[in-house]
Amino acid sequence: MAKALLGYMSSSDPRVVSQLSAENRRLKQMVIDLEAHVLRLQAENDKLEAAAHGAPLLTLDESMQPV
């Protein structure tokens, strides 16, 4: 994508190339961070789901049971 952006801009100004390269690195790092966050959330969700299935169902105290 960076090559496409650089080709599209068709600018040989080193400042523009440097700025686009820095932005591209920042966006790639953001994607990596977001993917890692999604994996952490999926793992946490799996743990919570396993705990919910392993826990007993909610029950009423015997004094509150119908007669």
In the structure, what pLDDT confidence band is assigned to residue 59 with cuts at 50, 70 and 90? Answer: low
The CA dihedral of 46, 48, 50, 52, to the nearest 10 degrees, is -150
Instruction: Please state whether 60 falls in left (phi above 0), alpha (psi between -120 and 50) or beta.
Output: beta
The answer, yes or no, to whether residue 31 has pLDDT greater than 90, is: yes
Percent of the chain topping pLDDT 90: 43
pLDDT given for residue 16 in this prediction = 87
pLDDT band, very low/low/confident/very high, at 12 (cuts 50, 70, 90):
confident
